[in-house]
Structure formats: C-alpha cells, structure tokens
Structure 1
Amino acid sequence: MHKLWISIYKEILLLRRDMGGLVILFIMPLCLIITITLIQDSTFKTATESKIPILLVDNDKGEVSKMVLKNLGESNSFDVITNVNGKTIDEAFAKDKVFNGEYQLAIIIPQNLSSGLKAKVDENVAKIMEGLGTTDSVASAKKETISPKEVRLYFDPASQTAFKTAVKSTVDQMISQIETKSIYNAFSEQLGEESTAAFQQDSYISFKEIVPMFDNKEMVPNSTQHNVPAWTLFAMFFIVVPLSINIVKEKNQGTQIRLRTNPVSYATIIAGKTITYLIICMLQFFLMLAVGMFVFPGIGLPVLELNGTFLMMSVVALFSGLAAVGFGILLGTVAKTQEQSAPFGATSVVILAAVGGVWVPVFAMPKIMQYVAKASPMNWGLEAFYDVLLRNNSILEIWPLLGALLLFFMVMVGLSIIYDEKKRAV
C-alpha cells in the first residue's frame, strides 16, 4: 500500500510541474460545453419559439389562399411577408431574394387555385352522388378537364434537409385540411344543411406527448440534459492525451527504468496512474455538473436538474473515467514518442466521440454505423448517463453498460501489462 501511495504522490508531482496543462484539462471542457449548449439551445429556440420570416406570393386571391395565409399567420413558426416596401411581391422577386439567402423560404400560390379546387371537388362529389342515385345524370354530360395545381416552394440553397422536410410536411398537412373542408362543404350543399347537421368537423384524433414523471413533475428533456453528459464524457476521455504523454516521457527520460530497478511492479505503477487520473476525471465531472446547475441559468440556458440522480450519475462517471484511463495507459505503453501518442490520442478520442453518438445521435447514423457505435466505450457511457438522467433507470438496469466499461478498462490494462512484460523480455 505504501508503494501505491508513493506512486500516486509521484503522479501528483508530475502534474504540478505542468499546471498549464492541468488547467487546460478543466478550462477547455467548460468552454466547450458552454459553447455547444448555447449553440444548440439557440437552434432549438429558433426552431420552436422564434418566427422565421417567409415570403408568400398570392396569385389566387381566393378562399384557399386566405386560409393558407390565416393558418401560416397563426402558426408559431413563420412570419408571413406579402409586401416589401409597400409593394406586393411577385414570384420573380421572391425567387431572387430566397436564392440570394435573404429569406429561408418563399411559398407561391398559383392562380385559380380556389376555383379549381372547388370545381374538382364538386365534380368528384357529383360523381359519388350520381353513383348513389341521389342526383340526375344530366350533370355528368358536362365534363371539363381540370388540371392539377402546384404550390411552389423556394428554399434557400443553404437550408438544411430537416428544415425543408418539416416545411413540406406543414404545408402538405395544411393543404390536406383545406381539401377536406372543401369536400365536406360540397357534400353539405348536395345533401342540405339538415342532412349534415349531425356531423361535426372537430378533429376526432389528437396527439399528446407523454413524458417521464419524477415526483409528479414532468421530466422534459432540454439541451442541457443532453449536452452535459455528452461533453463531460468527451472531456473525460481527453485525459488520454496527457496520460499517454506522461507515460512516454517516463520511458524516454529513463524514469521508468529507475522505477523498475526498485521492487515495484508495473501493476503498482499503473494503479498509481489510474487513481490519480481517475480523480481528475471525477473532478471534471463534478465541475461540469456545477456549471450546468449554477452557471447555465445565469447565461439564459436551461438549468441541469438531476432529480435525485447525483449518486448514480457519479457511479457512471466513475466507470467511464476508468475506461478513459485504461485507454490512455495502453496508448502510453505502446507509443514510443510523444509525436505518436498525442496526435493519435486526440484523433482516436474524436473518432470514438463521433462514432459513439456524442456529436450525431446514433439513430440518425447509417445502419452500418449504428452497429459500429455499439463498440465505442463513449456510447456505453453516454447511454448509461441518459438511462439515469432521462429514463430514470435503476442501477440494475444500467449494470450491463457499467460492466462493459469496467471490462474495457481491465482489457486495456491487461494488454498494457502483457505488452510491457514482453518488451522487457526482449
């Protein structure tokens, strides 16, 4: 035990000699988590609270265009603009402004949309009523070709696909509701008000989101709850870089040889490094939580609500820190120079984060990458954090993920010891 404490003390002395690097381990993750959360929270608010200015060209001037304008105006997503500088805009103007990036979207309503829709609906209703034998067949002699109409959408070329899809879905739903109402009105005219009075146009089917509850309080996920665990994990794994560099320094400066001439096993040296850097990982974790709970509300971000999960979150952080330290020990043992360990360590952490779902959700990845993500220790840690914080799972439910992190640490350390023994034997 005395040798272990001396090994830990030695690691602390080494860290004290590089206070700048130690500060970076804490300051950079804080800057990262604040910046990313601010960006994502701002994006979330833009999509849900702020209204996006869009151009609307009304070539119809009928009931349908009035309903479209009314529905868009009542939505919480769009600020409809039909006049610029007191002049009614046309399609050419709207196209130019959108393609130049001044506006995100322009909606062009074609001419005679209202009259064409009414004529088409009347024609279809008349055919149905004729088939039921409730109308004369005289009207069927008058057939007129009614060409379909297009509501054209112009998007800024820089618009994301998700935004385009959402807008198309919103417009399509709006047009479908207008068509349904037109069909209902046409049947009302054919059957009479008395026959349709019993029918109600209110929606029968509605949607309600059910969210998890904690102490009779809804647990609504926000940008903070997603970002704090993700980027805390990313920061903890970046311990790989200074840890591997430290091990390489010891080999190149002869420190490791002097240590091995003493009756100290390599396992004891590794244990000292593990405990020291695991403490740093936990300090990073606690600092990130403090920022989410006390700093974020002061800069307009949602507060991090742990809802009694602090202990379990700490357990997940402990096992994640073990995985990060184990990876750093293996890298430092195998690498021969700092030029090998530092770039490879930083790049590998970024790759593990990208694959593990820290940057892009796993469900949004291609199918093959979803399987690859399951092999990333960052994915195991991230899923464990989410299970505790967002899904309110118990320790037994997340134990497979914790076991995988612990096994990863043991495998990394085991390989390090085997590699070191073989290298010394040679």
Structure 2
Amino acid sequence: MVHKIGMSVVKEFLLLKRDLGGLIILFIMPLVLVITVTLIQDSTFKTISDNKIQILLVDNDKGAVSKTVFDNLEKSNLFTVVTQIDNQPITEEVAKEAVYKGKFQLAIVIPAKLSVDLQSKIDQNVENIVSSIGLTNSAAPLPLPKLVKQKEVKLYFDPAVQMSFKNAVMSSIDKMISQIETQSIYTTFQNQLGEGNAKFEQKSFITFKEIIPKINNKEIRPNSVQHNVPAWTLFAIFFIVIPLSINIVKEKSQGTFVRLLTNPVSNLIVIIGKTITYSVICMIQFYMMVAVAIFLFPHIGLPSLNVEGHLFLMSIVALFSGFAAIGFGILLGTVASTQEQSAPFGATSVIILAAIGGVWVPVFAMPKIMQIIAKSSPMNWALEAFYDVLLRNVSFFEIIPKISLLFLFFILTTSIALFYDKKKRTV
C-alpha cells in the first residue's frame, strides 16, 4: 500500500517535470502577483496618508469662513490647496472643467457672502434666545429679521475617484464646517453676554481614540502585507487546479489512466498520490510567499510580514487550503473531457471563487446577497482562517471549524469525482 502510494507520487512528479515551464510559472506567477499588488496597495495608502493630494478651492466668500476652511485644509495631512491656475484666480467653471478632465480629484466652491450670512443667521438665533430668557431690554423692539438663505458649499469630484474617497472627503469637510459654525455661535454668545460675564470652552468635548489590540505589550497594527500575503497565497494555491486537471485529462486522453487500472492499483491510490504531490507544491508556494514577505519586502519599501508565533497555524491553514484546491482540481479533471474544457473553466472558476471569497473586495463591502454567497466559497473559509491566525491571534481550536469545512470540501469533491468516474466506466 505504502509502496504503491510512493510510486504514484513519483509518477506525478515525473509528469510535472515534463512541464517544467508550467511548473516555474506556477511558482513565479504568485510571487510577482503578491509583490505587484502589495506595492500598489501600499503606495495607494501612502499617497493618501503621506503625499498630499492637490485640490482646487474657489473662494467666492473672501471672508473669515473661507479663510478658516483654507487654513484647515492646508494644515491637514491630506490636501494641498490650489487657488490659482496659470497665475489666474480659479473660477467655478474652470475648476469644474479641470476636475471633470481628471487633472484634479476635487474642487471646493465656497459661495459668496458665506461668512456674512452665517454670522447674520447666528446673530438672529442668539438674539432670539437671549431675548426669550429676558437678558435684553424688553422695551426695545427687536429688529425685523433679515431673510438669510441657506448656503451651499459645492464639491466637484473627478468621476474616476472611488466612492470611499468621496465619503471620506465629504465627512471631513462637513466636520470642518460644523466646527466653524459652533465656534461662531459661542463667539456670538460671548459678545451678547459680555466678555466678563461668560467664557465658553470651544474645544471639542467628545474625542475619539482607537484602541489597538496588544500582544506581549506590542501593538498589532494591520498593514497591506498582512492582508495581501494570505489573500494571494490562496489565489496561488487554488491555481494548481489548472495543471492538476490538465494532467488528469492527459492521462485519460493518452491512455495512461487505463494502463494504471490494469495494474493492481485502485483509483483511490492514484488520488492519494496526486493529493500528496500537489500538497507538497502548495506548501512550497506558501513558504515561498512567506519568505518573500519576510526577507524581500523590507528591501523594496514594504513592511515585513510578522509571523512570530503564527507560522505553525498558518501552515495548517495552507495545508487544508491545498486539500480544498486539490479536491476541486481532481473533480474538474475527472469531469472534463479535453484540456480545452479544463484549463479555461479552471482559471475562470478560481477567479470567481477569489472574487466572491473576499480576495479582491472585502466581504463586508459587498451587497447582502453577495455576503451570503461568499460564505459558500472555500477561499472565504481559508482567508478568514488566515486572518484569524495572523490578525486576530486565535488558537488552533478556534480555526478548527474553518479548516474542517476545507477538508470536508476536499472529501466531497474527491468522492464525487470517484463516483462519477466509476459510473462513467460502468456505463
């Protein structure tokens, strides 16, 4: 039994050796992919946080509010304010055209008389409040209120920018304007009541503080590497579906599989041999990706992957992820009749599983129906198990449900493949 399995493994490695170019691609492609994607995502993060984005500011107000907006934008770590193009003040039409052509990502248009009308509206409201509590001369008639129309700060976005960027910018500007209004209200109350009568603390009373989890008194700060290495390692592991299914189809078309069955070797032995062989390949892929993330990434400006205390559990997740990929490849190779069927379907199905599994887009950002569908993807089970180990610092017992699902997927797909093959040969 052991000898037969060993010979089956040797046979699989000999088959792979014949396609050395494909085998190299199987190892090189994931490395190039993880380096490229991580560099892009890390650069995007740095662009937002470190390198300021140029935005256009059209100041039709020329008052205290617009000056405060300008100063706050300049002080922020996000933006550099541009008020002139070719040494000419920017108009709304010029800003709109520049943004819609993609030259700038954002233009802010501050309406005329914003400062004056804001102060007028606040003065009216404060006077009404002060008079209603009897702090003014009741004999003096109140002036007729001036009709002040609501003001609108316009934001023009490049149509190509992402919705998350829009929401972040709008939230930031809305908070800034609210702070300006609040400070103006406090200042007006001080003026109405007299400098010596009241002093208002204008700093924000409620603040926000992120509590970062700690392990051994070290803060755990997730970065692009910790998210990308598990995701694209899974993508690489599942891509063995293509060579595995192609080899099975080759065996059927070349008569190798028939010759194997004429020997005292069961189909189960053949599948065990394939499972061992491709499990070794999956683990080599995994350790290569981890090694690149640890040793190469720091030399190309990326954070190093910290696997301290996690490597053993990550290896277990990678092994069971490999089982799931192998089961799917065996099923596909058994069902497919030609390489033209197995290769395109294998590649497409892996991409679909990755897409719905959260490799490209986080599951929480998907529509509700897709979040439900994502739970059926083995890539999602494996990715969540990797995140549990690497980012959530869980124990082995806590990842058992997810790796059990991966192993059940392997058992189910190989069982279907065995049943289909037996049924096809008996017909």
How do 1:389-408 and structure 2 match up within 5 A? 389-408=390-409
Task: Among all aligned residue pairs of Structure 1 and Structure 2, give the percentage whose two residues are the same amino acid.
Answer: 63
Deviation at 1:159, TM superposition (A): 1.9
How do 1:284-303 and structure 2 match up within 5 A? 284-303=285-304
How do 1:34-113 and structure 2 match up within 5 A? 34-113=35-114
The corresponding residue for 2:180 is 178
SS in 2 for 1:193: coil
Q: Flag structure 2 segments of 5+ consecutive residues without an equivalent.
A: none
The corresponding residue for 1:237 is 238
The corresponding residue for 1:140 is 142
SS in 1 for 2:70: helix
TM-superposition CA deviations, 1:140-189 (whole Å, max 9, x none) = 34221111111111112222222111111111110000000000001111
The corresponding residue for 1:310 is 311
TM-superposition CA deviations, 1:228-259 (whole Å, max 9, x none) = 00000000000000000000110111111110
Change in CA separation of 1:337 and 1:401 when aligned onto 2, cut-off 3 Å: same
Q: Is the 8 A contact 1:278 1:322 kept in 2?
A: yes
Q: Is the 8 A contact 1:329 1:416 kept in 2?
A: yes
Q: Is the 8 A contact 1:214 1:307 kept in 2?
A: no
TM-score (norm 1): 0.98
Supply the distance in 2 between the matched residues of 1:14 and 1:180 (Cα, whole angstroms).
74
Supply the distance in 2 between the matched residues of 1:288 and 1:213 (Cα, whole angstroms).
26
TM-superposition CA deviations, 1:298-317 (whole Å, max 9, x none) = 11111111131011100100
| CA root-mean-square deviation | 1.1
Q: Flag structure 1 segments of 5+ consecutive residues without an equivalent.
A: none
Deviation at 1:136, TM superposition (A): 3.4
SS in 1 for 2:159: coil
The corresponding residue for 2:194 is 192
Supply the distance in 1 between the matched residues of 2:124 and 2:269 (Cα, whole angstroms).
87
Deviation at 1:96, TM superposition (A): 2.1
340-349 or 78-87: bigger deviation: 78-87
The corresponding residue for 2:153 is 151
Supply the distance in 1 between the matched residues of 2:141 and 2:425 (Cα, whole angstroms).
99
Q: Is the 8 A contact 1:237 1:321 kept in 2?
A: yes
The corresponding residue for 2:169 is 167
Deviation at 1:131, TM superposition (A): 1.4
Deviation at 1:389, TM superposition (A): 0.2
Supply the distance in 2 between the matched residues of 1:140 and 1:163 (Cα, whole angstroms).
46
TM-superposition CA deviations, 1:4-50 (whole Å, max 9, x none) = 00000000111111100110100111111111111111111112111
TM-superposition CA deviations, 1:77-112 (whole Å, max 9, x none) = 000011233332222222222222211111111111
The corresponding residue for 2:336 is 335
How do 1:183-262 and structure 2 match up within 5 A? 183-197=185-199, 199-262=200-263
SS in 1 for 2:142: helix
TM-score (norm 2): 0.97
Amino acid at match of 1:417: L
203-212 or 385-394: bigger deviation: 203-212
Amino acid at match of 1:327: F
Q: Is the 8 A contact 1:212 1:218 kept in 2?
A: yes
Supply the distance in 2 between the matched residues of 1:418 and 1:95 (Cα, whole angstroms).
64
82-91 or 31-40: bigger deviation: 82-91
337-346 or 152-161: bigger deviation: 152-161
The number of equivalent residue pairs is 425
Supply the distance in 1 between the matched residues of 2:414 and 2:374 (Cα, whole angstroms).
22
Deviation at 1:287, TM superposition (A): 0.2
